[in-house]
Amino acid sequence: MRPFQYERAASPARAVSSADAGSKYHAGGTTLIDLMKLDVWRPERLIDISALKEPRMTRIERNGKALRIGSMVTMAALAGDEGVRRSCPVLTDSLWLAASAQLRNMARLGGNVLQMTRCSYYRDTSYDQCNKRAPGSGCAALDGSNRHHAILGTSDACIATYPGDWAQALIALDAVVEILGKDGPKSVPFATLHRQPGNRPDVETTLAAGDLITAFVIPDADWARSKYLKIRDRESYAFALTSAAVALRMDGDAVSDVRIGLGGVATVPWRATAAEAVLKNAALSEDTAQQAAEAAFAGANTLEHNAYKVELGKRTLVRALMDTAGMEA
Amino acid sequence: MADDIKKAGPDRRSVLKGSALAGGVGAMLATNVRAAQDGEPRAAAAVSRIPVSLSVNGQTRDVSVDTRATLLDTLRHDFELTGTKKGCDHGQCGACTVHIDGERKLSCLTLAATVEGADIVTIEGLAKGDALHPMQQAFIDHDAFQCGYCTPGQIMSAVALVKEGHTGSDAEIREYMSGNLCRCAAYPNIVAAVKQAAPQMGDA
């Protein structure tokens, strides 16, 4: 690892004013220290925000129907919150099905949504070609080993999969991100936080330099009928091959509202709006769920090793929809 | 889609061939030189040290650490507590698991500078004098290891798992122990050990 300066932030405002192009925030450190050891990230200075105690960054709060989750809350803390599990199980399922108990005790939710792809050509600097790590160098995954790579939201420059789970629940539930920036606080829809690779895969998010995520807000956190289904190579402690975050409101057999996020298959957290449109106001059955799944993957681009994700992704979504419909509301 | 890719550099196959001929070290040096030319012309940053007060197994010591030092390396090198093991060093295997303020965490992904004032417990801190912790005894009773390298991390994780209340079933124990890999595959014996120790632990 390369040498760096270390400082502890005295407050969120001080952290933001101190941030510059050569610095990175240190929260849980689980992505940061890993990528620094790999020499993929080379910050000159770390601003440690892990000990900040500001209530707006550390609490889980309910205000009417809205749920506000501080960015410094650990994955484990939210995964174990009984109230959130009852009102929005998709928010807690997607956390305890991710990483390991140790990592969930460390990783903060603000960093969780910003975790980097597991593409081995990004993580291994012995490969010259990676447009995300070295812009303009090419993409070794296109004709390399791409079994884990994305089939939605890809470009000719990058097919790296967004690895996270919780983000699929956030995008499905129309979450809002609260940010403290150099110009003060601001809020943006979670759906606009990440950007598809296009011809600039190195630019992962719409965050400006110094922007610090302080909280996530779910404006309408009343989705007792919701779940996260994750399909992996092994039963636990693995990234998703395919996953589905599903939230339903039913009126008898009819779907009165539906939200779908898809993981393991796209370059960014993925909202399956076309699939939602198929189901809205329709009667939910295996047939309509299948039609929704067809719509969700209609735009898939596959390569040598990842074409299986189309069929697996559809089956994952159908099963998630049917399982969710069977939950007690 | 793969047909119209613009290849800016040599393709992967020729890079691999080149590195095989030049040797891995030569290829790595070449990559670093090119990275420096491409946009990181800065001189190598100076090593930075920081004083930290660490509380390990109930004893507090002031040490000066490189900002890069992980808690794992600090425990092993500065405190000479070599029970905590370095496996993958990337947060994937669990061999380095310790307790920080009562929670199991990975010391390989924890910078020593970030745990000033925290209460750190390692495998060396579990036994009370010559009396083994019930989890340590259970691992012996059930032969829950073969080579033993992952064992300190397994035991630290298992103790935390019991305190977290995840012993409801074999499946739950397996799920909440999944962050600790055992390449000797002593998994069934580890589950048995956890089940034996759980009711014996009390407040231990």
Tell me the H-state helices in A59-210: 75-79, 82-87, 89-96, 101-106, 109-112, 120-123, 166-172
Environment class of B156 (CB within 10 Å of its CB; exposed 0-12, middle 13-18, buried 19+) = buried
Q: How far apart are CA B76 and CA A77, in angstroms?
A: 30
**B7–A50 CB contact, under 8 Å:** no
Q: Give all strands of the β-sheet with B103-106 in edge-to-edge order.
A: B59-66, B49-56, B119-121, B97-100, B103-106
> Within a domain: residue B145?
yes
The verdict on B111 and B146 lying in the same domain is no
Instruction: List, in order, residues 6 or more apart from A250 with CB less than 8 Å away.
Output: A225, A256, A284, A325, A329
Q: What pTM, to 2 d.p., does this model score?
A: 0.91
Using CB atoms and an 8 Å cut-off, which of residues 90-119 of chain A contact chain B? 99-103, 105-106
Closest CA to B75 of B66, B90, B87, B85: B85
CA of A126 vs chain B CAs: smallest distance (Å): 6
Using CB atoms and an 8 Å cut-off, which of residues 65-104 of chain B contact chain A? 66-68, 70, 89-91, 94, 97, 103-104
Predicted local distance difference test score (pLDDT) of residue B204: 54
Q: Does B174 touch chain A (CB under 8 A)?
A: yes
B50-73 mean pLDDT = 97
Instruction: Give the domain range for residue A284.
Output: 226-325
Tokens at residue A148, please?
Answer: 């884990």
Closest CA to A270 of A292, A293, A291, A296: A296
> Within a domain: residue B170?
yes
Q: How far apart are CA A38 and CA A152, in angstroms?
A: 27
The verdict on B56 and B119 lying in the same domain is yes
Q: How far apart are CA A314 and CA A273, in angstroms?
A: 14
Contact status, residue B193 vs residue B135, Cβ threshold 8 Å: yes
The verdict on B67 and B116 lying in the same domain is yes
Q: Which residue has the tokens 């080993």?
A: A145
CA of B18 vs chain A CAs: smallest distance (Å): 12
**B109–A30 CB contact, under 8 Å:** yes
Using CB atoms and an 8 Å cut-off, which of residues 26-85 of chain A contact chain B? 26, 29-30, 33-34, 37-38, 42, 44, 46, 48, 50-51, 76
The 3-state secondary structure of B77-139 reads HHCCCCCCCCCCCCCCCCCCEEEECCEEEEHHHCEHHHHCCCEEECHHHCCECCECCHHHHHH
Closest CA to A89 of A78, A100, A99: A78
- Residue B144 half-sphere exposure toward CB, CA atoms < 13 A: 28
The residues facing A61 across adjacent strands are A68
Instruction: List, in order, residues 6 or more apart from A104 with CB less than 8 Å away.
Output: A74, A75, A76, A79, A95, A96, A98
Closest CA to B98 of B40, B25, B180: B180
* Facing B5 at nearest CB: one of A38, A137, A142: A142
Q: Does B4 touch chain A (CB under 8 A)?
A: yes
**A138–B28 CB contact, under 8 Å:** no
- The last residue of one of the domains, among B65, B93, B125, is B125
> Within a domain: residue A250?
yes
The verdict on B58 and B116 lying in the same domain is yes
The verdict on B108 and B172 lying in the same domain is no
Neighbours of A88 (CB within 10 A): 23
Please say whether the dihedral angle defined by the alpha carbons of residues A231, A233, A234 and A236, taken in this order, is positive or negative: negative
CA of B125 vs chain A CAs: smallest distance (Å): 19
**B179–A129 CB contact, under 8 Å:** no
Q: How far apart are CA B7 and CA B21, in angstroms?
A: 22
Mutation to test the B interface, candidates A93, A96, A128, A137, most B Cβ within 10 Å: A128
Q: How far apart are CA B175 and CA B92, in angstroms?
A: 15
Predicted local distance difference test score (pLDDT) of residue B16: 41
Q: How confident is the model at residue B202 (pLDDT cuts 50, 70, 90)?
A: confident
> Within a domain: residue A292?
yes
The verdict on B72 and B92 lying in the same domain is yes
**A143–B2 CB contact, under 8 Å:** yes
- The last residue of one of the domains, among B91, B125, B159, is B125
The verdict on B115 and B140 lying in the same domain is no
Residues of B in contact with A301 (CB under 8 A): 1
Domain total of chain B: 2
Look at residue B1 and tell me whether its pLDDT is greater than 50. Answer: no
> Within a domain: residue B27?
no
> Within a domain: residue B63?
yes
Tokens at residue A46, please?
Answer: 């770390």
> Within a domain: residue A285?
yes
Residues of A in contact with B90 (CB under 8 A): 34, 37-38
Using CB atoms and an 8 Å cut-off, which of residues 123-152 of chain A contact chain B? 125-129, 134, 136-140, 142-144
* Facing B45 at nearest CB: one of A4, A106, A156: A4
The verdict on B112 and B162 lying in the same domain is no
> Within a domain: residue A33?
yes
The verdict on B151 and B179 lying in the same domain is yes
**B113–A48 CB contact, under 8 Å:** yes
pLDDT digits (tens, 9 = 90+) for B85-117: 999 999 999 999 999 999 999 999 999 999 999
> Within a domain: residue B156?
yes
**B104–A101 CB contact, under 8 Å:** yes
Q: With pLDDT > 70 as the criterion, what percentage of chain B qualifies?
A: 77
CA of B1 vs chain A CAs: smallest distance (Å): 7
Q: Which residues of chain A have pLDDT under 50?
A: none
Nearest CA in chain A to B112: A6
Instruction: Give the domain range for residue B188.
Output: 134-200
Q: How far apart are CA B201 and CA B159, in angstroms?
A: 8
* Facing B45 at nearest CB: one of A44, A140, A303: A44
- The SS3 assignment for B148 reads coil
The verdict on B111 and B175 lying in the same domain is no
Q: B67-106: string of b/e by CB count within 10 Å (b at 16+)?
A: bbbbbbbbbbebbebebbbbbebbbbbbbbbbbbeebbbb
The verdict on B69 and B108 lying in the same domain is yes
Predicted local distance difference test score (pLDDT) of residue B45: 73
CA of A244 vs chain B CAs: smallest distance (Å): 20
> Within a domain: residue A248?
yes
Predicted local distance difference test score (pLDDT) of residue A317: 98
pLDDT digits (tens, 9 = 90+) for B117-160: 999 999 999 999 999 999 999 999 999 999 999 999 999 999 99
pLDDT digits (tens, 9 = 90+) for B10-61: 444 444 443 433 333 333 333 333 444 444 545 667 999 999 999 999 999 9
- The last residue of one of the domains, among B81, B96, B125, is B125
**B68–A1 CB contact, under 8 Å:** yes
Domain total of chain A: 2
What is the rounded end-to-end Cα distance, in angstroms, of chain A? Answer: 50
Q: Domain of A247: which CATH number?
A: 3.30.390.50
Q: Domain of B66: which CATH number?
A: 3.10.20.30
The verdict on B54 and B118 lying in the same domain is yes
